Amino acid sequence: MVKTLEWTDAGVRFIDQTKLPTEETYVTCRTYQEVAEVIRSMVVRGAPAIGVAAAMGIALGARDLNAADIAEFRAGLGQICRALGDTRPTAVNLFWAIRRMQKRFEELSGKPIPQIKLGLIEEAQRIYAEDIAANQAMGRFGAALLPPSGGVLTHCNAGALATAGYGTALGVIRAAVEAGKLVHVYADETRPFLQGARLTAWELMKDGIPTTLICDNMAGAMMAHGKVQAVIVGADRIAANGDTANKIGTYTVAILAREHGIPFYVAAPFSTIDLETPDGSRIPIEQRAAAEVTHIAGRQMAPSGVGVGNPAFDVTPARYIAAIITERGLARPPYAESLRALACQPVNIGV
């Protein structure tokens, strides 16, 4: 299986997702600043993968800190965490991972600095392993929701490449296929970054899962023709009431699914659920550069100087979501209650 990212002694190694599918190349970040830059430039993307990347970036930065005492170390770590937190505002997994690394530091802060550094590297690796285990657990819970055969539409890439491995939405699809279900995936290409065309199609073809790539604007027609029996997507942040921020276009897919009587599912690790954000209106939405829309593969497609909208995410209100699949189990409406109940549940995902 492809390694989205991995800790190595030389630094954090990433598959370059801006080069897929035509080139399978890797970049190794040797400093935390380089990790921040690969997050910003979307060499690595996908909320869970961003969280793991940030944890590894912190471990890397902490390892190389030249601190005379714990106060200097704490200050240095704070700077590293701020640099990583400033990369992308929407995915909450990033902030969750940063907080978790900070908490681990506080637990270790009585120890000698070399031991703290080792402990932070171990914590980042634990976050990595837990992410894969969470995806496999989501797969087990979610596979039952998919029909024994039929079309499943997905938007963007919520696959192995969006996580430490296996994937969230694509993890559920993988688990359904492993359970013998005959799933045909309809993959929205997902403009402007084309994660569906470049990443989802590539992942699914590698696994031999039948896939039809469509432009985003074809999803409605596919549903009208009865080709889609379920929709499953990932998430970048889920508010306490179930409102879900995910890749731009997800909201449209949810409305289309509702209009055609097709269930719309969200699969995400519990670290994506932000119980401190009451509803979707409070989720910050990243606006990205116009050139992502006006230029494709470096070639200008729109007139110079045209006004451009490029929100990277949109918010799907909870009322469109049939279930949220987490590693702790399924949440069903009303989400304010079901998500809180899952939050209180003891967790054992077997890491």
Find the shortest distance in angstroms from Cβ 145 to a second copy: 24
Q: Which candidate, 307, 311, 306, 343, places its Cα nearest to that of 324? A: 343
Residue 10: CB minimum distance to a second copy, A: 29
Tell me the closest approach of the beta carbon of residue 173 to a second copy, in angstroms.
15
The answer to whether 314 is a known catalytic residue is no
Which one of residues 309, 344, 346, 350 is an interface residue with a second copy (CB under 8 A)? 309
Applying CB under 8 A, among 311, 319, 334, 345 the residue interacting with a second copy is 311
Q: Binding to a second copy by residue 314, rule CB under 8 A?
A: yes
In the bound state with a second copy, the residue whose beta carbon lies nearer, of 261 and 350, is 261
Distance CA 169, CA 319 (A): 19
Q: Give the number of other Cβ atoms within 10 Å of residue 134's Cβ.
A: 27
- As measured in angstroms, the least distance from the Cβ of 21 to a second copy is 4
If one asks whether residue 221 binds a second copy (CB under 8 A), the answer comes out as yes
Selected from 302, 343, 349, 351, the binder of a second copy by CB under 8 A is 302
For residue 199, give every residue at least 6 positions away whose Cβ sits within 8 Å of its Cβ, in sequence order, or none: 17, 20, 21, 157, 159, 161, 162
What sign for the dihedral angle of Cα 323, 326, 327, 328? negative
Q: Residue 290 burial by CB count (10 A; 0-12/13-18/19+): exposed, middle or buried?
A: middle
Shortest separation between residue 49's beta carbon and a second copy, angstroms = 20
Stretch that binds a second copy, among 82-90, 97-105, 246-254, 326-334 (CB under 8 A): 246-254
> Rule CB under 8 A: is residue 289 a binding residue for a second copy?
no
d(CA 156, CA 164): 17
Residue 95 CA to its chain's centroid (Å): 13
Binding mask 179-218 for a second copy (x = CB under 8 A): -------x-xxxxx-x--xx--xx--x----xxxxxxxxx
Complex with a second copy: residue 114 or 307, whichever CB lies closer = 307
Q: Least distance to a second copy from the beta carbon of 138, Å?
A: 24
**Would you give the DSSP letter of residue 17?**
T
Which is closer to a second copy, CB of 118 or CB of 296?
296
Neighbours of 122 (CB within 10 A): 14
Q: How far is CA 274 from CA 157, 289, 310, 329, 331, in A?
A: 21, 26, 24, 17, 14
Which of 62, 222, 233, 267 lies at the binding interface for a second copy (CB under 8 A)?
A: 222
56 Cα distance to chain centroid = 16
SS (H, E, C) 25-48: CEEEECCHHHHHHHHHCCCCCCHH
Measured distance CA(92)–CA(95) in Å, rounded: 5
Total of chain residues touching a second copy, rule CB under 8 A: 54
Of 131, 216, 236, 314, which one is the catalytic site residue?
Answer: 236
Q: Which CB atom, from 14 or from 186, has the smaller least distance to a second copy?
A: 186
Q: Which residue's entry shows tokens 């070639």?
A: 299
Q: Which stretch binds a second copy (CB under 8 A): 32-40, 174-182, 228-236, 311-319?
A: 311-319
Would you give the distance in Å from CA 302 to the centre of its chain?
30
Region near a second copy per CB under 8 A, out of 1-9, 42-50, 125-133, 306-314: 306-314
**Contact call for residue 34 and a second copy (CB under 8 A):** no
Determine the length of the chain: 351
Least CB distance to a second copy at residue 331 (A): 23
Residue ranges in contact with a second copy by CB under 8 A: 21-22, 155, 186, 188-192, 194, 197-198, 201-202, 205, 210-222, 224, 248-249, 251-252, 255-256, 259, 293-294, 296-297, 299-303, 305-311, 314-315
Active site residues: 236
